[in-house]
Chains A and B, each alone.
Chain A
Amino acid sequence: MKAKINQLTIVSESNYALGRFYEGIFHLRPTETKSPTEDVSIGDGHIGLSIKPRLSGHPAQLDSFGIEVDDIELALARIRESYPKTMFQEGSGNGSRATVSAHDPDGNVFILSQADMKARDEGGRQKPVRFIDHIALRVLHPKEVAEFYAKVFDLAPLDKPSQQKNYYLSDGHATLVIIPWTLSDFEGTGISARGMDHIGFKVESIAALKSDIDRVAAKNYRFQPNASIVGKGKEGAVRLAMFRRTCPLGCHHMADSDGLLLDVSE
């Protein structure tokens, strides 16, 4: 089965401003023409980022992700056979654009969609200079969750250092990082619940990214990344050290204007 991580969803109290942040800092672009009052839909040419407004009953957070497959029926059959406790929720799409909401064994929600993979197979798409290269989940049962994504979607396990407890699964472009969620990792800092943890970006140059951040923030400080609280204070320093220790892919750690953690590499 061919599968690709094709979408991320953030729920935000400032969804339009947050969209501008990602457009301004990471050069994501609108993916479809929408009414100005609709959700923000932007992307890097490969992975779409949907930023929805926080409504009552919904946390403001990095919320869910999407996987596009060339055979949605096969994916669902695999889930039914091997993970009978996993429930589906049929989406509004149909035919080649059918979508299904589902979850992994730890309850992390993802949107499964059927797609024509031809465009990707042609391989002619040029990579943007800044793009999403990984998404990370902290889960209670990392081995089981990693097996789920590998078994159902044929995501390829990547090699890792033997002492690393993470699991890395690749679709050939982006990596799904499965990090064990343990309370002890939060020693000395605030505890985040299990679930989606951060977005990883690859950029052409960290120096150029920092320069863009300074330029944008100088024009409107509301677009300033939440850098003032990443690593600041005793607990912030512990959280930053934990971020670096538990996901070694990036070399620059920051947060967006909502406070969602971003792990940036060159």
Chain B
Amino acid sequence: MASKINHVAIMSGNYALESRFYESMFGMRGSPKGRLSKAVSIGDGYVGMNINARRAGRPARLDHFGIQVDDLDATVALVKDKYPEVEILKRPSSRPYVEFANHDPDGNVFDLSQAKGDKLKDIYTHNDWQAERTISHIGIRTLNAEACAEFYIDMFDLKPANLPIENAYGVTDGRVTLILLPWNIRDYAPTAIVGPGMDYIGFKVENMAKFKEDVRTIGDGNPLLTPAPVGLGSEGKARLEMLQRSSLGSWHIADPDGVLLDIVG
């Protein structure tokens, strides 16, 4: 079975600004067929990023990711057979890219879609160009990282990835890697505790020095697009060090909402 990690979603009270940030800093593009009154859908040529307007009852956060499969019916049948305790839910027709919602054994939610299905709209119909800056990995902190990794390997045929991160489990589609990190409250000893869930987005850039220069120039030109601070104060420093220990990149920033970004040169 061919699967690809093709989607990441942020819930934001500043969704239009967030979109401008990712478009400006990473060259992500929207769709000419995008629906202005709906969530922003932008892409890097492979992964589509939805930035959804925060609504009542929803936290503002890095929210979920998505997997696209070549045989949705077979995948759903396999999940129901092997993991009867996890739910699969048909999504409303208003979603332009997803047919089902699913969750792993720890309750991490992800979207499930059919490759080349007629449900695909917006950026998901033509997200196939070569970009210089791309989403390369997604970090998730979860209670049972190993069990979740087995789930993604068994159900979606994602491949194990060797990672230079202690205790982390990687599963990859060959281009994008899910990094499953054991969530341990003790990791947050010197900083504010964040519960289990999606933690950061990883980007690969063509040239770190050029990217840093772009970040500086763009922020100077429009302060609203400046990354949110990471590493301020003793708690911020501890949080940054924790991120550095559990990610792949050499530079760590945050989008204007504070969603953590791990930049690989």
Contacts and interface: CB of A to CB of B under 8 A. Distances in A.
Contacts of B57: 190, 192, 197-198, 230, 239, 243, 255, 259-261
A193 interface: yes
A64 interface: yes
Interface in A223-266: 226, 229-230, 234-236, 239, 243, 255, 258-261
Nearest to A139: B107
Interface string B129-142: 00000000000000
Given A107-B143, A108-B195, A186-B89, A59 B239 contact: no
B54 interface: yes
A190 to B, nearest CB: 6
A109 B236 contact: no
Interface residues of A, number: 54
A221 interface: no
A182 B186 CA distance: 28
Given A13-B13, A101-B193, A56 B258 contact: yes
Interface in B34-75: 52, 54-64
B185 A87 contact: yes
A60 interface: yes
A229 B58 CA distance: 11
B184 A87 contact: yes
Contacts of B109: 183, 191, 193
A84 interface: no
B236 A55 contact: yes
A13 B108 CA distance: 24
Given A56-B228, A60-B59, A236-B55, A89 B193 contact: yes
A188 B101 CA distance: 11
Nearest to B183: A107
A20 interface: no
Contacts of B230: 56-57
| Residue of A55, A63, A186, A230 with most partner-chain B CB within 10 A | A55
Contacts of B64: 191, 193
Contacts of A55: 192, 232, 235-236, 239, 258
Interface in A38-65: 52, 54-64
Contacts of A116: none
B32 interface: no
Nearest to A53: B258
A62 to B, nearest CB: 8
Nearest to B111: A191
A140 B107 CA distance: 7
B161 interface: no
B186 to A, nearest CB: 5
A60 B54 CA distance: 10
A236 B106 contact: no
Contact of A182 (B56, B87, B92): B87
Nearest to A182: B87
A195 interface: yes
Contacts of A58: 192, 194, 258
B195 A56 contact: no
Given A57-B243, A89-B189, A107-B196, 14 more contacts: A13-B60, A52-B192, A57-B199, A59-B60, A59-B197, A89-B186, A89-B188, A101-B188, A107-B195, A140-B107, A191-B109, A193-B63, A259-B57, A261-B57
Interface of B: 13, 52, 54-64, 87-90, 92, 94, 101-103, 106-109, 143, 183-186, 188-189, 192-197, 199-200, 228-230, 232, 235-236, 239, 243, 254, 257-260
